Amino acid sequence: MNIIKAYYDHILDIFMEVYGKSIESAQPGNCMKVTSLSLDILHDLYARLSLLNTKTLFYILTENPDMTGSEYITPTKLIELRNDLTKSILVLIPVNSSTSAEDSYGNATFRELSISNFDEILYQKLETQLSGKQAIKDTLNYVGKALDCTLQDKIKYLLYVILNGGTDEAIGNGLYLLNLLPDSSLVSKKEYIPQFLVKNDECISVMADYSMGIADKISTIPVKPGTIQQNVAKFLRENNSLISRKDLCAQVLEKYPQLNFSNWYSYLKNITELGVLHVTKVELGGKVFRLDGEDIKLKMEPNKGAKVKLRIYFSPKPSAYTELKKVKIAIMNGDGFYKETDVVTKKISENNKDYRDITFSLNNAFENGTYFFHVYAENNDGTELNVSDVFRDEAIQNEWEKIKATGNISKEEFQQQTRRLLTSDSDTFFLQVVNATDEPEETGTRMKINNVLQAYFRYRIELNRKGQELTIPQRQAINDKSGKTSDDEYKSWQFATHIKTFQLRYNTNNNYQIPLSIKLLELEETILKNSKKLGYIDAIISDNYTDETLKSIIPREIDDLQIPQSLIEKRVSLFESILKSAPDRTGVIETYEVFNHIGDIKEYIHEYHVWLKSLDEKNMSQSLAVLIQSIDTVSLQIEMPDDRIAHAKLLTPLHPIRLGWLVNIYEQYEEWEAKTAEDSRYRKPDVWYKKLDNLFYGDLLQDVAPLVMRDIHNEDYLQYVGELCFGWGFYVNPQQSGDDTFSTGFRQLKAYVSQLLNIGVQYRIDSDVNKQMVYRLIWKYITQHPYTNKLIINIFNAGDAAVFADNLVMLERDTANTPFDIHYEIRMFCDDKRFPQGEALRDLLNPDTQVSEEAENFSQADDNRLFPKLRFSVNSVDEFTNDPNKYPAHLSFLVNPFPTKASLKRSNTRQQSFFLNGVITRPIIQVEKAEKGYMWHRYISEAPLANPVSNFSNETQELFSTLQWIIANSMTTDHEVSVPSLTLSIKDKNSILLSYVHDISDWVITFDKNMGRNSMIFHVKKVKLHIF
């Protein structure tokens, strides 16, 4: 048995799987290299490569004159061969070759066939091969949490098991590779395996503690006196030259079978008999829970926690089972039956009752959804005692007993598949975060989603995960518990002052709500009800967000266009179908069953694209190009707080490129769904349910949009600055007085318009600032500077500062019961003071809006009123530039600080901008050296998708390219192959401001989507700017 040989055999197999086809199809002039392998391994690789059907030449690089075979090549000869562009070459460079780092063989001339991620691939393959061995899963799970084992260690362990036939004995004896004593009987312990791994770890930890003498080790080992101590002492004396824990474990396996851990069982101390204690019932209590029909609901206000009480019943009662010392409560996801997080651990009180009441605070870190609590009963060591709790359903318990005998699946996996509760689980409840907006009261417990297509995804994913027949969901009637009658048995709409909510029910586990702004609904319905015309909407919105409707909505038809009758017919048919998706022709695209009308949408988009392509560029004036690109958009006039008017453009969800996106994500899902159905391994929650499903639940944004557009009411170009909410793109004219303006004001205007349109904060989309990144940076700073008792942060272009306020609360939570007692001073800088700054920070200081323990730290009066917990101020950029030394800071954050200009960029790149069947759009960012500094060009490439699910995704990409051509034509008639682009250049004043910021700050962090990661090197060298 040679583990090393087996390891490299697998690595070479993976190499051929990953690179074999690309090597066979390599074109002349293609130069490739392989590094990081020894000469012996390269000989094996060479033999495998020789079996390929290819014209590519293979050589092993050598400087040894004794190696003269046809498989070897010298560096000099290789350089000559490299210059011959009629041949493709693959050179195998030994890891110890001095030439491997030479520029002649660098990545600029030789493409490296990297094997850096092959260990991860191999580990996954071996894990899959042994997926039926529950003992291996338990072992690797423990090792991953408790031991410092490398990925290589785990791979060697799995290879050891496979090479030894996958026997139970091999599973236990292979522990020596994981720094544990070999244990030939481990598998027989079944549910006790984690406990015996803990004891094994404790014993070998003492034996390998070289700070202790042998006598001290013997007295410390956790075994009963007068048992195995003599054999251990003899072993330590005879092997005192071994200096690592792993060597000790290997020596036991090879020469000391009497010390195999299977022989220690009867001598161990404090081995608790698991499965004797049971949690027989968990009752929900406390005022926060209420019964709504048959549903249990927990309502939680924003920024507040909830006080929860559980009554936990035990058998035997705690006073009769002395091993029970504490309980750990975890909150579980009620849809996927996986653990969200551990909530609290509490000691067991002493009394003679058969139950204990546990009270704790549940924070507001959870989204709306179905949850339940699970109880772990533990001893002092944290060993779970109630491992044998049964399922509530007797039939499910009987089924589990049969499956358990096979040992191929864990109890946790079985529960996730059947979605049945244990006796140690509470009843499920619906957690609802009650918003301050005037959303209507819900009927039952309904999950909030963006559109009906997302409900379809949730319904089908659940069926697929459970291996059930994949059916098309059908709406069911909703029983109104208020007793009100209605002609609409589906209770489709709920009404409130500013919000209409579409209700949807498929079955008991699939109930949904789609909250929609009434003002946005007005715009969408206007387009739908004018389907016989191609045009746009002129709208005016007042500066009073309490208005129930828009101030003005006027549909505008584009005249003087020859529009095919077939296009009008397809448009009318589709839009009428959308209107009929809700009673009384009130449907919109969000309520539309897209999955039942894919063909209709495709036909409409095809007709629309054919018409656009037919337009003659020579006969298209710039004014006409402006009108054509405005089809299915909204030209919005915004009344500002200072009585001035701002102009914006909304890209509606009914625009053809947005409709195409819905088809593309549906077809992408259909492909993944089919592959999942073919392989049951992908149905596991940790493979599909908790990861890929989120992409279809809203993580993938419908943000396909040109970066620049023109508007009929505005001579300037409008720039795409992001999404207001799901499906609604937002374009504005730069609010800046000159090229040197340091703050663009886009974020403030976007938040202001969202408020006027009554879009709830939780439904707004802000992709400018990475919340997790901000937290990590602040946390890193305070841990590296523990002496800091007041953290000063400057924020340029902060907007409502919600991300920063949330992070302050998280910091208070994570620094509780630690030496950190930090006060905060936040300074916000902006150019445009028409909009309120830092609303979230104001709320943080308001005791009426903060009840959670961490947030209360900011709203409560401090012991010393001269030094409050939080102090913030709003300043202008001019105030900063006039005297920057007045504003020293530990951290300075700049959010999209640099203004951009719309221009045309000649696109000759082969890089893609569209990925994942056209669902993801990523602009290309190119950096150019300018006369003074650098320029960043951001544009969307027209390169087609490489591996589309269907040809339609490339048609939508071509439609996007045609739209860009029309936009370019509206910018200039001499655009040739240029595409609309946003160009950023840092002017002299900007550079001065940046130097000021760096002079007065310890750390400076800039979030600017127009720069991207590619420009990080330039700015680190020039102005030490860190870009994310």
Within 13 Å, how many C-alpha atoms sit on residue 782's CB side? 22
Bridge-partner residues for 306, per DSSP? 362
Q: Three-state SS for 777? A: helix
The pLDDT of 16-27, averaged and rounded, is: 88
> pLDDT tens-digit profile of 674-711?
888 777 666 665 556 556 788 888 889 999 999 999 98
Query: Whole-structure pTM over 0.85, yes or no?
Result: no
Return the closest-CA partner of residue 12 out of 71, 99, 92: 92
Highest mean pLDDT pick, 350-354, 897-901, 903-907: 350-354
> pLDDT tens-digit profile of 559-597?
878 899 999 999 999 999 999 999 999 999 999 999 999
For the chain, the average pLDDT equals: 84
CA angle 771, 641, 746 (to 5 degrees): 35
> pLDDT tens-digit profile of 515-542?
999 999 999 999 999 999 999 999 999 9
Return the closest-CA partner of residue 760 out of 945, 516, 579, 967: 516
Q: How many CB atoms lie within 10 A of CB 455?
A: 25
Residue 470: what are its φ and ψ, rounded to 5°? -85, 100
Is the predicted pLDDT of residue 851 greater than 50, yes or no?
Answer: no
Tokens standing for 546?
């309490």
Cβ neighbours of residue 735 closer than 8 Å, sequence gap 6 or more = 646, 744, 745, 746, 749, 832
The DSSP H or E segment spanning 668 is helix 656-678
How far apart (Å, rounded) are the C-alpha atoms in residues 186 and 167? 11
The position carrying tokens 């909703």 is 478
CB neighbour class for 138 (10 Å; exposed up to 12, middle 13-18, buried from 19): buried
Q: How many CB atoms lie within 10 A of CB 299?
A: 14
Strands (E) located in 859-960: 870-876, 889-895, 900-906, 914-915, 920-921, 924-929, 934-939
Identify the CATH number of the domain defined by range 278-389+424-432.
Answer: 2.60.40.1930
How far apart (Å, rounded) are the C-alpha atoms in residues 59 and 668? 42
Is the predicted pLDDT of residue 850 greater than 60, yes or no?
Answer: no
CA angle 890, 891, 893 (to 5 degrees): 160
How far apart (Å, rounded) are the C-alpha atoms in residues 604 and 663? 12
Percent helix, percent strand, percent coil in the chain, to nearest 5:
40, 25, 40
Tokens standing for 662?
């819905």
How far apart (Å, rounded) are the C-alpha atoms in residues 1028 and 706? 22
> pLDDT tens-digit profile of 908-928?
677 788 999 999 998 988 877
Peptide bond into 316 cis (omega under 30): yes
Task: Tell me if 400 sits within 8 A of 456, measured CB to CB.
Answer: no
How far apart (Å, rounded) are the C-alpha atoms in residues 565 and 224? 92
Band of pLDDT at residue 963, cut at 50, 70 and 90: very high
Highest mean pLDDT pick, 286-295, 491-500, 605-614: 605-614
The pLDDT of 831-836, averaged and rounded, is: 71
How far apart (Å, rounded) are the C-alpha atoms in residues 212 and 197? 23
Cβ neighbours of residue 117 closer than 8 Å, sequence gap 6 or more = none
Tokens standing for 1006?
């800039």
Percentage of the chain exceeding pLDDT 70: 87
How far apart (Å, rounded) are the C-alpha atoms in residues 624 and 622? 5
Task: Tell me if 904 sits within 8 A of 978, measured CB to CB.
Answer: yes
The position carrying tokens 């040894």 is 64
Is the predicted pLDDT of residue 105 greater than 80, yes or no?
Answer: no
Tokens standing for 294?
């048959």
Q: Three-state SS for 921? A: strand
Tokens standing for 243?
């200096």
Cβ neighbours of residue 989 closer than 8 Å, sequence gap 6 or more = 740, 742
Return the closest-CA partner of residue 591 out of 505, 462, 504: 504
Task: Tell me if 135 sits within 8 A of 168, measured CB to CB.
Answer: yes
Task: Tell me if 390 sits within 8 A of 420, measured CB to CB.
Answer: no
Strands (E) located in 119-264: none
Band of pLDDT at residue 407, cut at 50, 70 and 90: low
Q: How many CB atoms lie within 10 A of CB 487?
A: 6
> What is residue 175's DSSP assignment?
G
How far apart (Å, rounded) are the C-alpha atoms in residues 362 and 343? 7
Tokens standing for 706?
């040109």
Band of pLDDT at residue 442, cut at 50, 70 and 90: very low
The pLDDT of 772-792, averaged and rounded, is: 87
How far apart (Å, rounded) are the C-alpha atoms in residues 560 and 140? 71
Q: How many CB atoms lie within 10 A of CB 467?
A: 12
> pLDDT tens-digit profile of 163-221?
999 999 999 999 999 999 999 999 888 777 888 898 899 899 999 988 889 999 998 88
Please report the DSSP string for 294-310 in residue order.
TEEEEEE-TT--EEEEE
pLDDT score, position 688:
61
Q: Give the β-pairing of 1001-1007 and 1026-1027.
A: parallel
Is the predicted pLDDT of residue 827 greater than 80, yes or no?
Answer: yes
Cβ neighbours of residue 263 closer than 8 Å, sequence gap 6 or more = 228
Band of pLDDT at residue 720, cut at 50, 70 and 90: very high
No. of helices (H) and no. of strands (E), the chain: 29, 37
Task: Tell me if 358 sits within 8 A of 312, measured CB to CB.
Answer: yes
Rg of the chain over all Cα atoms, to the nearest angstrom:
33
